[in-house]
Chain A
Amino acid sequence: MPNGTCFDHRGSLGSTAFGLALLCAIVTAKAEPSQELIAAAKKEGTVTWYTNLIVEQIVRPLGAAFEKKYGIKMAYWRGDGAELNLKLLGEARARRVQGDIYSIGIGVDSLIKAGVTEPYDPVNAKGFPAEYKDPAHHWIASNIYINTPGYNTSLVQKSEAPRTYEALLDPKWKGKMAWKRNDISGAQGFIGNILSSMGEEKGIAYLRRLSEQNIISVNASARAILDQVMAGEYPIALQIFNNHAEISAKKGAPVDWLPMEPVTVSLNIIGLLRGGPSPNAGKLLIEFMLSKEGQQVFRERDYYPADPEVPAKIPDLLPATGGFKGNVMSPAMIANGLDRWTRLYDELFK
């Protein structure tokens, strides 16, 4: 918390205290929404978040921290991309918008096109990398995801585990790899990553060879597929979340992940909804989630904060701090490529 840190240092550092305090004041001022916004938000009293994030893990903790700080209650509605899309589009069309802000993984382009979102440029995101922000301010990343293969360490020795995409083509992995059929954390994301990092021609050639490996499509979340890998049902899962493997391995599960370069980096984004009942509280909640304090909540819950200044709990898991290459797949890239990746899946892997 920047406020607390500044205060402590002022007491102990004597003559430099004033300078530091000034610096802190500037930083804090930059990182704090205006008093007018806070007052207006408090007057509204509640805020509603339409979210794709996991309730128990991150939505409730963020809501609790927000309420503690501002005394504003948070309600939520939770659904996956498809339901979230249908619900937001339906409510906007009927002009009965119930939510103030949204968060989503993929599919934001159709929301923007339908006028569901409202531009807002949060002061707390000034230091975020450009690719984490929509130039038109309809969305901004709250946290990021890393997708890469994981494997069962009792079924596959660490030394023989495939380290490169080329190694996945080894006949010994035939019928031994599983993935989710859709999503960035599944076949679509894998195909998109290959095409954008290898280039069209090489990428397609690679995917053709990979299709001979009989990859098993499982209709479950990447996390649930990783669970099956840990239980020994499949030796390798492609495109899982590497922090999931890390968390389970810490508990003693026979699982590890592979930094297969480039890993897929994708964004979870948040933004303001047009015509919501409490727009000011919505803006304040966005500011809070992107503040150091909010980003810390993501960090504590084993999510990767989008703010480069809030390091992940285990820095080795991220490309920048872990020393491996990542390929950032922006919402625009996904929106442009999704249909094609789906067709390629149907053609080669179905």
Chain B
Amino acid sequence: MRATNTAMTASVDIASTSGTLAGPLMARASSTTRGQPVALAVGLVVVLLVLVVPPLFVLIQSSLLTQADPDHWSLENFAAILGSRRFLATLWYSVQFSAGSAAFALLLGWSAAWLAERTNTPLRSLAYLTAIMSLGTPFILYVSAWLLFFGKAGPINQLYRELTGHVDVLFNIYSMPGMIVVEGFLWSPFAFLLVGATLRNANPDLEEVARVSGASVWQTVKRVTLRQSLPSIMALAMLVFIRTMEAFEVPALVGMPGRLFVLTTDIYSSMAAKSPPDTGGASALSIIMLLLVLVLLYVYGRLSRNAERFVTVTGKNFRARPFDLGRFRYVATALLAMNFILLIVVPIATLIWISLLPFFQPFSIKALSLLTLDNYRNVLASAYVDLAINTLSMSFGAATVATFITLLAAWVVVRRATGGWLIERLTLIPLIFPGLILGLAVMELFLQIPLPLYGTLFVLIWAFVINYLPYSMRYTTSGLLQIHPELEEAATICGASSLTIMRLILAPLIAPALLAGWLFIFLMSSRVLSLAILLAGPRTQPVSVAMYDLWNNGQGTELAALGLMWSALMTAIAMIFYLVTRRFSGGLLGQA
């Protein structure tokens, strides 16, 4: 980042921004921000309570009611889960799966982000393309494309059989490593976007010192860069860990055929088998998850207590000099290309193949004679335009509102203002809601209140804002953690109000993080199904519901065609937004 902005071109003083001296500065900052309007904190607490409490209430209530006896409260649902013979075994599988996926997603995401942001690797932008395209592709399609490619009948195992004459498979995707790889792949773009935004703003002074002192690239990364980003990495790891504990789709599509059960597949699928669905058991499981999350939050709180040690954007001038990887930069390009191939080329190529077929077939010369454009014709002849407009308005609204709320919330939290502790916890609570339960809770809420909002897009936006608060909070917090309060202090002294500070100083400075968060929510809300389905009204159906329809009815080939066109549209929108905002914020930051 080339900061030529006059406000930021103070003298370069390495010592004053280094970790050891930031403590006293921080203390000073807290004392000034404490005078900041308490009204903001109170307002945020109210907004968050209104968003988070009703679903939490519904969750607790339904966890205490059983289907057999819906009129009396009991702990039977909890007893059923904890007393199940398989509980400990499946819990152990769950932990393996979640830890493995979180580690794998972070490894992929962090390496790609570091290569893209901090080195001179050729074709770095490939990493951004990978992340955005991958987030724009509907989830079900993604997983089924990988399964088709890596499955028993997929081209790799087929080739292996032909070359070796074995009747068996080279590898079995329906296994714990298979589940971890697929889930890790799915989360890596999220990790990439989050880490990338932090690394871009990271202060290179310490790295510079390390390099001047003769440290190698690897030593610098290990001793400085990784440690600087530790708070965001830990927070991110926790987030992915919790979400994968609750993940249902990959364990169901990849784990179940291999007879690998985790908590969610073991419990949710039994509940879905009842009529009406037994939401009590699912809720009880969520409460157990909540307790687990609280423990993790406590650990995380201790870890990030010293977060100010990692403040990296200050009023001082800084210029991130990319690491020169030397000859290894081509190896780095190869790694990014590999990532692109596995995350994008393989699934997209598989989808293109499927979309051109009248029915599912593995790759073969023989099948070439079947190719047809019928699926595309069918999709174009259908009435998807209304659905697309609904979806785009909904995703745009959800992303914008969530980013706005969490920018304010993160500011209160990071600056340790009154109410920060409560606000942080409130924004993290939605992590524990399974999609169906959150959908149910929001539906009940809008059914009960006398406003004519039930069945409108507003309700969908409301639910998506709740669902994505924790993620959005992650993006804004990790962006703000890097901003030293001295800029705000300077502005306060010059008489700027908090809103002016927010608008003119903070928002532009953390624009990369805000943008990454906005894009993530925009892309996710347009493809997530479990939440949308209950809340959509007869006139507000989103595209994801139509996609689920096609998948369920086995119009997989038509779904592939629709999915590809939809991903292309989403990728295009995301790219334009990304480029425009990047240029805009670049201008504000004085970037070339």
Per-residue CB contact flags for chain B residues 513-557 toward chain A (1 = under 8 Å, else 0) read 000000000000000000001101111010001100111111110
- The chain A residue sitting closest to B358, CB to CB, is A251
Tell me if A77 and B537 are in contact (CB < 8 A). yes
Task: State in angstroms the CA–CA spacing of A98 and B535 once bound together.
Answer: 12
The answer to whether A56 has its CB under 8 Å from any CB of chain B is yes
The answer to whether B272 has its CB under 8 Å from any CB of chain A is yes
Task: State in angstroms the CA–CA spacing of A143 and B438 once bound together.
Answer: 33
The answer to whether A230 has its CB under 8 Å from any CB of chain B is yes
Tell me if A86 and B276 are in contact (CB < 8 A). yes
The answer to whether A72 has its CB under 8 Å from any CB of chain B is no
Residues of the B chain whose Cβ atoms lie less than 8 Å from the Cβ of A253: 358-361
- Known A231-B148, A346-B270; judge A81-B275 contact (CB<8 A): yes
- The chain A residue sitting closest to B551, CB to CB, is A224
| Stretch from A8-16, A36-44, A211-219 at the B interface | A211-219
The answer to whether B447 has its CB under 8 Å from any CB of chain A is yes
Would you list which residues of chain A between 61 and 97 have a CB under 8 Å from chain B?
75-83, 85-87, 89-91, 93-94, 96
- Known A227-B360, A231-B361; judge A96-B447 contact (CB<8 A): yes
Task: State in angstroms the CA–CA spacing of A87 and B265 once bound together.
Answer: 23
Tell me if B546 and A56 are in contact (CB < 8 A). yes
The answer to whether B151 has its CB under 8 Å from any CB of chain A is yes
Partner pick for A231 among B360, B538, B546, CB 8 A cutoff = B360
Min distance, Cβ B28 to any Cβ of chain A, angstroms: 53
Tell me if B360 and A107 are in contact (CB < 8 A). no
- Known A48-B538, A85-B277, A231-B362; judge A80-B552 contact (CB<8 A): yes
Partner pick for B153 among A56, A231, A252, CB 8 A cutoff = A231
Min distance, Cβ B291 to any Cβ of chain A, angstroms: 26
- Known A85-B275, A85-B276, A90-B440; judge A216-B257 contact (CB<8 A): yes
Tell me if B253 and A219 are in contact (CB < 8 A). yes
The answer to whether A221 has its CB under 8 Å from any CB of chain B is yes
Would you list which residues of chain A between 195 and 244 have a CB under 8 Å from chain B?
216-224, 226-228, 230-233, 244
Residues of the A chain whose Cβ atoms lie less than 8 Å from the Cβ of B358: 248, 251-253
- Known A55-B546, A342-B270; judge A76-B538 contact (CB<8 A): yes
Tell me if A232 and B538 are in contact (CB < 8 A). no
Tell me if B554 and A87 are in contact (CB < 8 A). no
Tell me if A233 and B539 are in contact (CB < 8 A). no
Which of A83, A188, A248, A346 counts the most chain B CB atoms within 10 A? A83
Tell me if A56 and B550 are in contact (CB < 8 A). yes
Residues of the B chain whose Cβ atoms lie less than 8 Å from the Cβ of A98: 454-455, 537-538
Tell me if A251 and B549 are in contact (CB < 8 A). no
Task: State in angstroms the CA–CA spacing of A223 and B383 once bound together.
Answer: 23
Partner pick for A224 among B361, B362, B534, B554, CB 8 A cutoff = B554
What is the number of residues of chain A that contact chain B, defined by CB distance less than 8 Å? 62
Residues of the A chain whose Cβ atoms lie less than 8 Å from the Cβ of B382: 56, 60
Partner pick for A90 among B447, B545, B553, CB 8 A cutoff = B447
The answer to whether B262 has its CB under 8 Å from any CB of chain A is no
Per-residue CB contact flags for chain A residues 253-276 toward chain B (1 = under 8 Å, else 0) read 100000000000000000000000
Per-residue CB contact flags for chain B residues 442-456 toward chain A (1 = under 8 Å, else 0) read 011001100000110
Partner pick for A82 among B265, B272, B359, B538, CB 8 A cutoff = B272
- Known A77-B537, A86-B534; judge A57-B153 contact (CB<8 A): no
- Known A107-B276, A219-B252; judge A99-B549 contact (CB<8 A): no
- Known A91-B447, A223-B553; judge A232-B274 contact (CB<8 A): no
Interface bracket on B: 35 or more
Min distance, Cβ B549 to any Cβ of chain A, angstroms: 5
- The chain B residue sitting closest to A225, CB to CB, is B554
Tell me if B549 and A223 are in contact (CB < 8 A). no
- The chain A residue sitting closest to B153, CB to CB, is A232
Would you list which residues of chain B between 340 and 395 have a CB under 8 Å from chain A?
358-362, 370, 382-383
Tell me if A94 and B256 are in contact (CB < 8 A). no
Task: State in angstroms the CA–CA spacing of A76 and B259 once bound together.
Answer: 38
The answer to whether B243 has its CB under 8 Å from any CB of chain A is no
Residues of the A chain whose Cβ atoms lie less than 8 Å from the Cβ of B144: 224
Tell me if A94 and B152 are in contact (CB < 8 A). no
Residues of the A chain whose Cβ atoms lie less than 8 Å from the Cβ of B539: 75
Partner pick for B552 among A54, A85, A338, A346, CB 8 A cutoff = A54
Task: State in angstroms the CA–CA spacing of A222 and B551 once bound together.
Answer: 11
Residues of the A chain whose Cβ atoms lie less than 8 Å from the Cβ of B147: 233
Min distance, Cβ B45 to any Cβ of chain A, angstroms: 28
The answer to whether A339 has its CB under 8 Å from any CB of chain B is yes
Residues of the A chain whose Cβ atoms lie less than 8 Å from the Cβ of B277: 82, 85-86
The answer to whether A141 has its CB under 8 Å from any CB of chain B is no
The answer to whether B163 has its CB under 8 Å from any CB of chain A is no
Task: State in angstroms the CA–CA spacing of A252 and B369 once bound together.
Answer: 11
The answer to whether B591 has its CB under 8 Å from any CB of chain A is no
Tell me if B273 and A57 are in contact (CB < 8 A). no
- Known A79-B533, A217-B257; judge A55-B549 contact (CB<8 A): yes
Tell me if B361 and A230 are in contact (CB < 8 A). yes
Per-residue CB contact flags for chain B residues 234-273 toward chain A (1 = under 8 Å, else 0) read 0000000000000000001100110101000100011011
The answer to whether A3 has its CB under 8 Å from any CB of chain B is no
- Known A85-B276, A106-B275, A223-B554; judge A228-B545 contact (CB<8 A): no
Task: State in angstroms the CA–CA spacing of A90 and B370 once bound together.
Answer: 47
Shortest 9 CB-CB distances between A and B: which pairs?
A: A223-B554, A232-B153, A219-B252, A94-B447, A107-B275, A182-B273, A75-B538, A82-B277, A227-B360
Can you pick out 9 interface pairs between chain A and chain B where the beta carbons lie within 8 Å of each other? Answer: A54-B553, A77-B536, A83-B436, A96-B454, A110-B275, A217-B256, A219-B253, A224-B552, A338-B273
Known: A98-B537, A227-B556. 14 other contacts (CB 8 A): A54-B555, A55-B546, A55-B549, A85-B275, A86-B534, A94-B447, A107-B275, A182-B273, A220-B253, A221-B551, A222-B554, A226-B554, A233-B153, A338-B274
B residues sitting closer than 8 Å to A (CB atoms) are 144, 147-148, 151-153, 252-253, 256-257, 259, 261, 265, 269-270, 272-277, 279, 358-362, 370, 382-383, 436, 440, 443-444, 447-448, 454-455, 533-534, 536-539, 541, 545-546, 549-556
